[in-house]
Structure formats: structure tokens, C-alpha cells
Amino acid sequence: MKFVYATRTGNVESLINKLNIREALKIELGQEKIEEDFLLFTYTDGYGDVPIEVEDFLSLNGQYLQGVIVSGDQNYGEAYCKAGDQISKEYNIPCLYKVENDGNDNDIRIITEIIQKYH
């Protein structure tokens, strides 16, 4: 299982580092190609929106997507982490976890357990 992530201000990258995930693929422009199953880590943009580079990446590689872990900020209220729900619906895969910013120790413990099941 590969890990793919998108980050703009660094929270998701920090999360990836705290999870000790090495060799994750970072989505930059969204034109990257992957040819194996992966879990996606993304942030939420706009008001509950999927970041544009993530949309582009998934339109190229979405057939390999197995699940999404989404970061957001509770201050966005109803739009909290909605990017994960949107991706889950569109690609028919589970939104595995919603995490605020780069996650606390408890989040890291839970996400570690979740991703272990995908090895």
C-alpha cells in the first residue's frame, strides 16, 4: 500500500511525519501518476472543498484509491473535513478518519492502527 498526501500549509505533511510514513508521494500539481493501491491524506479547502490538485490527481489515479484520511479545522463548522466525505462518496471508498490540523497523540495512535490494517 502506498501513501499519498496533499498539503498546503504543512499540517498534513507534519501528520505524515508523525506517523513515521516514509516514501509517501506528495501531490504537487496533481499530474503525478501512481499504479498501485494507495491511501490518501488530504486537507480541506474553501468551504468543505476537495483541493483542486487532489481532484486532478484523483481523476488520473482514482481507480487505485482505497481510503481517505482528511484534515480540517473545527472552526469551519459544518464544513469540517468535508473534503473526505466528498471523496468517499465520489470514489466509493471509506473516509477512514477526520483529524484536526496535524493531529494530537490520540489521533496518531488511532490512525496508526487504521493504516496498519492496510499493509
Ligand X SMILES: Cc1cc2nc3c(=O)[nH]c(=O)nc-3n(C[C@H](O)[C@H](O)[C@H](O)COP(=O)(O)O)c2cc1C
Q: Which CB sits closer to ligand X, 14 or 66?
A: 14
Phi-psi sector, 4: left (phi>0), alpha (psi -120 to 50), beta: beta
Q: Which CB sits closer to ligand X, 80 or 119?
A: 80
Q: Which CB sits closer to ligand X, 24 or 35?
A: 24
Cα–Cα distance for residue pair 92/101, rounded to 1 Å? 25
Task: Give the 3-state secondary structure of residue 57.
Answer: helix
Q: Which residues bind ligand X (CB under 6 A)?
A: 7-13, 43-48, 71-73, 76, 79-81, 101
Q: How far is the CB of 105 from ligand X (least distance, A)?
A: 17
Q: Which CB sits closer to ligand X, 46 or 94?
A: 46
Distances (CA, A) of 15 to 20, 24, 87, 104: 9, 12, 19, 9
What φ, ψ does residue 44 adopt, rounded to 5°?
Answer: -110, 135
Q: How far is the CB of 92 from ligand X (least distance, A)?
A: 22
The residue sitting closest to ligand X, measured at its beta carbon, is: 72
